[in-house]
Structure 1
Amino acid sequence: MQRADQNALREGISLRSLVDEAGRAVAAEISSRFPNAKRVAVLVGPGNNGRDALVAARYLREEKRSADLFGTANRHDEIAPLQVFHGGKYDLVLDGLWGAGLSRDVEGDAEDVLRKAEDSGRPIVSIDIPSGVDGGNGQIRGYAPKVDLTVTFVRRKPGHCLLPGRDHCGTIVVAPIGLSETAMKEAAEPFEPVFANEPSLWLHHAATPLTAHHKYDRGHAVVFSGGMSRTGAARLAALSALRGGAGLVTVFSPASALLVNAQHLTGIMLKRCEDGDLDVLLEDKRLNAFVLGPGFGIGDRAKAMALTVLKAGRRLVLDADGLTSFRDHASRLFEAARQCSDSEPQLVLTPHDGEFARLFPDLAGDLRLSKVDRARHASRRSNAIVVLKGADTVIAAPDGRAAINATGTPWLATAGTGDVLAGLVAAQLAQKRPSFEAACLAVWMHGKAAEHFGPGLISEDLPHCLPAVHREIVSLAMDNAH
């Protein structure tokens, strides 16, 4: 954004004009959303956020609202010291102390006034990002209030989307301030792109199947089952792959689990797969996307089957036990992924934080890296799409692209939901979608399915919510076409 401001100056747009537009946008949002807030306390910082706050105060006063100024520096005769702020006498607090470029912890008088504002119970509106949230990684620098509304400009920052910062932002409004797309594009060129995982990112790859298509045109996904007492996870993944859009789904099962799996499977097919069977089964080229890990068991068998699938040039989602099996042999997995891939990664890794630390201990332990950075470095090292799971799941590709997801509910934190996600990713891979977009789409669908169900969700509920998600995607595609 600093580079974009500089580009705007070269285009003849003054910094004063940008600040005026920013302040006007903040005041307009307050007027629209909080019409009864007649007495506003404005917290004024020493940088550009403080300038925006002063302009917002001017526009609020033009609407016959009071706007008392409290600040960290006496840059304006009307600014009172932060120490004298008392939240109880105001209807709303406007936080203009620090923005996304914060480089130090919030402490001292600034922390005290933000705590008073939060404790007052009055609505808080933040300019750009709540003071104390690092715009680059979403971490809290010292202290940050949880606000009701954040008005940012031109683009969201990673700190708006990554936890814990996301939970502090409240409703986020992105306001234009007169920066041209050319200024933004030129400013962004030196940086690797970070996207919000939203339909605009993958919708052009999510076309619905035509009635003339054969089921094999939609791909044939395969899920490896564990032994007799560990079959449920594979069936969850298989059902979600079928509901997720794959034309056919087969469970590869050891002989000991065939009868157990057969008792529960109907539209999903079943084949025996012992150690010596996989090479023969892979002669069927229609089997094009595989899931290995859910309930499979940890050890050499998992490693051997994963490497065999990759050597055969098939797309593989490695999850759960499949990931942990390579704990001490990660380089073998990464080399296999490199050998089987040209420009399009064939391997998708779906770790939670614990599994990520087993494969990438140095990245997991580096506190200087944001979640986006960790996923990116891991993706490059493994030559795989990395889906680093959590409430703010990050999807990263070896070419540097990364996306931050925001769909879902806290009810997803329950056993088996990761197995469902693995099957959903395989469904998109089976349909020959590009690997990065396939993973992004699957993560979005997974979260949306949880939103459709609501409270009380367990993993078995998710596949049955997917038809509603497909309808939503169809509707979005139709609107986009028009």
Structure 2
Amino acid sequence: MPKADQILTVTQMREAEQALIDAGSSVDALMQIAGRGAADWVWRMAAHRKVTVLCGPGNNGGDGYVIAETIRERGGQVSVVAATEPKTDAARNARALYGGEVLAPGAEVSGDVLVDCLFGSGLTRPLSQDLFDLLTGLAAHHHHCVAVDLPSGVQSDSGMLLNEGLPQYDLTIALGAWKFAHYLMPASAIVGALRLVPIGVAPVEGAATVLGAPRIAAPDADAHKYRRGLLAVVGGRMPGAALLAARAAQGGGAGYVKLFADSHDNAPADLVVETGPLSEVLTDDRNSAVLVGPGLGRDGEARERLAVALADPVAAVVDADALVLLTPRALAERAAPTIATPHEGELAALERAFELDGAGSRPERALALARASGMIVVAKGPDTVIAAPDGRLACAPRATSWLSTAGTGDVLAGVIASRVSNGIPAFEAACEGVWLHGEAARLCGAAFTAGQLAAKVPEALAAYL
């Protein structure tokens, strides 16, 4: 049974296609399925307006000839520009089946929709200057750009741009399975809307997945606050951040949120604040999770608070300052799950602490840290990745860029901690928290504060009950 949410590397995709061929299909048959499926999306976008298909030498170019022929058969206006002659048998066969004229690279062509079939997911080096000029020149003379599988000039597994100044695409049509570049920066910033054309690829063991919408259950009919989860939020030198996290946690489903802080200042009336010794209040055996890091500080007292928090034998979410203070020794005695939520700078600090070289793509780095530390790692940012020590990996769809404001990371930590306090397994809780955080941001619209984001969490959660 095909699996629609998996993300495949270039190697995994080639092996998956070969498995289909070994099972009785052929490259030509798969090209027809992929090209005609992609043509459906191009047809919808073009709405009978003029389409130009730029075809490269390989099988991505072959897909382009199939797209062009499908549009021509339907009575659409389509032109094909061949960057070079086809160099694979399947591409040559697809070109032979195209019933229209094939234009040379120097032809003056303009229109409404440019379809980029120059190169697909296997590209590993920059486009040559002549091909780059051809692509960007055609893009400048069309109102819309569509990429087939990936924009040309993008490295599939890392999401890196092999050329600077690539076009901005309105739509990218993935063929067979998602690729990492659809979800990783900087490529994800240029791909536009994403659509998938299935070709029958079977589930691949160990493949990453695209983060999907959660299914959240309402509390049981006989629920009470402790059964829904008691979350302990550990404050520090900067109380505002812990307050933000606690407010977000209240909206994320926890039945009871307690903030352990030095004072009750600025706390809302419905938030319980404990000001006693941290070592005493965290011995409450009703705790189901603990959150430490937002506003913690980095001094000796902060280190002590982190140690006490991690000594609580419940699931822990570690964020912000606590990530900079965290060491392998601090986790050595923990048996309960730990979720770390680092941004790029904190991710680098953790890699140093766990003696990792920080090499590789963002997913590879997150997985390496998860395996070395035993933590669930939420590598947050414009391309958020969630990794587990057992190799599970999820990439989040790109959220609104308005999230790039102070305090939104504290909100994310609070939502994740709230979900894990409900008894949701740590990896799933991290995934749910990331999704709800993005949905709350969408509900906020533009130019919101972290406080406004926290206030939208209950609405975001209600949408998935």
Q: Deviations over 1:248-287 (max 9, x none)?
A: 0111123xxx242xx523111111244xx41x32331111
Select which of 249, 272, 275 maps to 2:275: 272
- Aligned equivalents of 1:452, 1:25: Cα separation in 2: 33
1:148 and 2:170 matched: yes
Aligned partner of 2:202 in structure 1 is 184
Within a 5 Å distance, the mapping from 1:270-349 to structure 2 comes to 270-274=273-277, 277-278=278-279, 280-326=280-326, 330-333=327-330, 335-336=331-332, 339-341=333-335, 346-349=337-340
The aligned amino acid for 2:319 is D
Aligned partner of 1:74 in structure 2 is 85
Select which of 108, 114, 119 maps to 1:93: 114
Within a 5 Å distance, the mapping from 1:155-194 to structure 2 comes to 155-177=177-199, 179=200, 184-185=202-203, 188-189=204-205, 192-194=206-208
- Aligned equivalents of 1:363, 1:44: Cα separation in 2: 47
Report the secondary structure of 2:202's partner residue: helix
Aligned partner of 1:239 in structure 2 is 247
- Aligned equivalents of 1:362, 1:34: Cα separation in 2: 52
Within a 5 Å distance, the mapping from 1:214-233 to structure 2 comes to 214-227=224-237, 230-233=238-241
Within a 5 Å distance, the mapping from 1:258-269 to structure 2 comes to 258-260=263-265, 263-269=266-272
Aligned partner of 2:3 in structure 1 is none
Q: Deviations over 1:174-226 (max 9, x none)?
A: 1123x2xxx522xx22xx33111112xx53xx322123111111111111122
Q: Can you give the 5+ residue segments of structure 2 that lack an aligned partner in the other structure?
A: 1-12, 87-94
CA-CA distance at 1:423 after TM superposition: 1.0
1:389 and 2:380 matched: yes
The aligned amino acid for 2:296 is F
Within a 5 Å distance, the mapping from 1:36-55 to structure 2 comes to 36-38=48-50, 40-55=51-66
Aligned partner of 1:103 in structure 2 is 124
The aligned amino acid for 1:119 is A
CA-CA distance at 1:49 after TM superposition: 0.3
- Aligned equivalents of 1:149, 1:259: Cα separation in 2: 50
Is the CA contact (8 Å cut-off) linking 1:86 and 1:116 kept in structure 2?
no
So what's the TM-score if we normalise by structure 1? 0.86
1:468 and 2:459 matched: yes
The aligned amino acid for 2:453 is L
**Change in CA separation of 1:453 and 1:381 when aligned onto 2, cut-off 3 Å:** same
Aligned partner of 1:207 in structure 2 is 217
Aligned partner of 2:211 in structure 1 is 197
Select which of 445, 451, 455 maps to 2:446: 455
CA-CA distance at 1:145 after TM superposition: 2.0
- Aligned equivalents of 2:66, 2:186: Cα separation in 1: 29
**Change in CA separation of 1:66 and 1:259 when aligned onto 2, cut-off 3 Å:** closer
CA-CA distance at 1:130 after TM superposition: 0.9
**Change in CA separation of 1:416 and 1:351 when aligned onto 2, cut-off 3 Å:** same
- Aligned equivalents of 1:135, 1:289: Cα separation in 2: 38
Q: Deviations over 1:48-97 (max 9, x none)?
A: 10111111122222223343332343236864443x0434x333222111
Q: Deviations over 1:392-422 (max 9, x none)?
A: 1111111111111125322211111111111
**Change in CA separation of 1:61 and 1:352 when aligned onto 2, cut-off 3 Å:** same
Is the CA contact (8 Å cut-off) linking 2:176 and 2:197 kept in structure 1?
yes
The aligned amino acid for 1:234 is A
Report the secondary structure of 2:62's partner residue: helix
Aligned partner of 2:89 in structure 1 is none
So what's the TM-score if we normalise by structure 2? 0.89
- Aligned equivalents of 2:291, 2:113: Cα separation in 1: 52
Aligned partner of 2:371 in structure 1 is 380
Is the CA contact (8 Å cut-off) linking 2:113 and 2:142 kept in structure 1?
no
Aligned partner of 2:92 in structure 1 is none
Is the CA contact (8 Å cut-off) linking 2:112 and 2:142 kept in structure 1?
no
Count of residue correspondences: 440
Q: Can you give the 5+ residue segments of structure 1 that lack an aligned partner in the other structure?
A: 475-482
The aligned amino acid for 1:108 is Q
- Aligned equivalents of 1:33, 1:70: Cα separation in 2: 19
Is the CA contact (8 Å cut-off) linking 2:38 and 2:148 kept in structure 1?
yes
Aligned partner of 2:14 in structure 1 is 2
Is the CA contact (8 Å cut-off) linking 1:160 and 1:166 kept in structure 2?
yes
- Aligned equivalents of 1:220, 1:362: Cα separation in 2: 31
Is the CA contact (8 Å cut-off) linking 2:154 and 2:162 kept in structure 1?
yes
The aligned amino acid for 1:166 is S
- Aligned equivalents of 1:242, 1:146: Cα separation in 2: 40
The aligned amino acid for 1:170 is G
Is the CA contact (8 Å cut-off) linking 1:394 and 1:403 kept in structure 2?
yes
Is the CA contact (8 Å cut-off) linking 1:85 and 1:113 kept in structure 2?
no
Counting helix residues as a fraction of each chain, which structure ranks higher?
1
1:119 and 2:140 matched: yes
Select which of 51, 56, 69 maps to 2:67: 56
| CA RMSD between the two structures | 2.2
User: Sequence identity of aligned pairs in percent?
Assistant: 35
Comparing 304-313 with 285-294, which one deviates more in the overlay?
Answer: 304-313
Is the CA contact (8 Å cut-off) linking 2:139 and 2:167 kept in structure 1?
yes
Is the CA contact (8 Å cut-off) linking 2:226 and 2:286 kept in structure 1?
yes
The aligned amino acid for 2:45 is R
- Aligned equivalents of 1:117, 1:164: Cα separation in 2: 22
Within a 5 Å distance, the mapping from 1:129-148 to structure 2 comes to 129-143=150-164, 144-148=166-170
Report the secondary structure of 2:162's partner residue: coil
- Aligned equivalents of 1:467, 1:272: Cα separation in 2: 27
Aligned partner of 2:43 in structure 1 is 31
**Change in CA separation of 1:231 and 1:287 when aligned onto 2, cut-off 3 Å:** same
Report the secondary structure of 2:143's partner residue: coil
Aligned partner of 1:477 in structure 2 is none
CA-CA distance at 1:101 after TM superposition: 1.8
- Aligned equivalents of 1:132, 1:152: Cα separation in 2: 15
**Change in CA separation of 1:362 and 1:118 when aligned onto 2, cut-off 3 Å:** farther
Report the secondary structure of 1:316's partner residue: strand
